[in-house]
């Protein structure tokens, strides 16, 4: 099957797949960021049970394989009478996984600030909220631009889990399996999807690097 024929027959599938991957990535990443902030707040809070919960959350979702989590969300939760649409299942899975790594990024961003700065801030009389607003959060955000760029790419790659559930429209990986079970798409059928991912990742990291250069703190 040539490229023309492949795109002629399945072009719409690929386009839908690319858009599905993009939209799921975007939606997931927003929730990843929100949840990562919440988990990080819990992890640095002075309240012991919250800290414990935050640590547990991160350890569980950092270490669970994506497929195992997706299966739990998509096939085990209905046994507890909690049925979500397929697409939501995938997004929930991606968000749970991604936010654990996002929180790790924020934590290492906070840890690079150094206790000395906070002590200095306190000694010139800044209050707790002022320390957070003027010292911790701006620096933590600026040092996490690059890790978060990589996380965005990782989130996009994780949405490939969508190929494991009967989602409509399918995302890029699902399209490859769809095309190849109907026709002998050959290596091209695979390469079209792969390029969709690689080029998107390339653009994301390009933008991320630009942004990082602009806001990076040289130490």
Partner 1 sequence: MSARTQSAPSVRAALYEAPGPRTKRLIAVGTVLSALVVAALVAAVVRQFYVTGQLAPRYWSFLLEWPTWRFLLQGFVGTVEVALTAGAIALVLGLALMLGRTSGPRPVSAACRLVTDFFRGVPSLLLIYFFFLVVPQYGIRMPAFWMLTLPVALAASGVLAEVFRAGVNAVPKGQVEAAYSIGLSRWKTMRLIVLPQAVRYVIPSLIAQLVVVVKDTTVAYVVSYPDLMQNARVLITNYDALLSMYLVVSVVYVLINFAINKASVYVAHRTGVKIIR
- Dig out the tokens for 18 from the structure: 């690319």
* 172 Cβ contact partners less than 8 Å away, ≥ 6 residues apart: 14, 17, 18, 20, 21, 160, 193, 196, 197
13 or 163: CB nearest partner 1: 163
- Dig out the tokens for 83 from the structure: 């049925």
* 143 Cβ contact partners less than 8 Å away, ≥ 6 residues apart: 109, 112, 216, 217
Q: Using CB under 8 A, which residues numbered 1 to 20 contact partner 1? A: none
Q: Segment near partner 1 (CB under 8 A), from 3-11, 24-32, 88-96, 161-169?
A: 161-169
Give the C-alpha distances (Å, rounded to integers) separating 97 from 138, 145, 197, 203.
Answer: 25, 19, 19, 23
Q: Does 122 bind partner 1 (CB under 8 A)?
A: yes
Q: Does 136 bind partner 1 (CB under 8 A)?
A: yes
Residue whose C-alpha is closest to residue 102's, from 61, 56, 157, 47:
61
Q: Does 48 bind partner 1 (CB under 8 A)?
A: yes
Among 24, 33, 94, 110, binds partner 1 (CB under 8 A): 110
Q: Segment near partner 1 (CB under 8 A), from 6-14, 46-54, 88-96, 210-218?
A: 46-54
Among 16, 41, 190, 211, binds partner 1 (CB under 8 A): 190
Site for partner 1 (CB under 8 A): how many residues? 71
Q: Segment near partner 1 (CB under 8 A), from 11-19, 31-39, 75-83, 84-92?
A: 75-83
Residues in the chain: 219
């Amino acid at each position: 099957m040539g490229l023309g024929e492949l795109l002629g027959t399945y072009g719409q599938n690929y386009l839908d797949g690319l858009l599905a991957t993009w939209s799921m990535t975007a939606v997931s990443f927003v929730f990843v960021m929100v949840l990562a902030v919440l988990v990080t707040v819990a992890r640095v809070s002075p309240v012991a049970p919250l800290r414990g919960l935050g640590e547990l959350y991160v350890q569980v979702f950092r270490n669970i394989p994506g497929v195992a989590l997706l299966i739990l969300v998509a096939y085990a939760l209905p046994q507890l009478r909690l049925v979500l649409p397929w697409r939501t299942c995938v997004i929930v899975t991606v968000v749970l996984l991604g936010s654990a790594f996002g929180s790790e990024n924020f934590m290492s961003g906070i840890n690079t600030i150094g206790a000395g700065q906070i002590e200095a801030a306190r000694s010139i009389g800044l209050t707790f909220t002022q320390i957070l607003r003027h010292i911790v959060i701006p620096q933590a955000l600026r040092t996490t631009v690059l890790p978060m760029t990589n996380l965005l790419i990782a989130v996009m790659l994780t949405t490939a889990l969508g190929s494991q559930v009967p989602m409509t429209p399918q995302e890029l990986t699902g399209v490859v399996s769809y095309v190849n079970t109907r026709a002998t798409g050959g290596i091209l059928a695979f390469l079209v999807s792969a390029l969709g991912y690689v080029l998107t990742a390339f653009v994301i990291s390009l933008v991320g690097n630009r942004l990082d250069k602009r806001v990076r703190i040289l130490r």
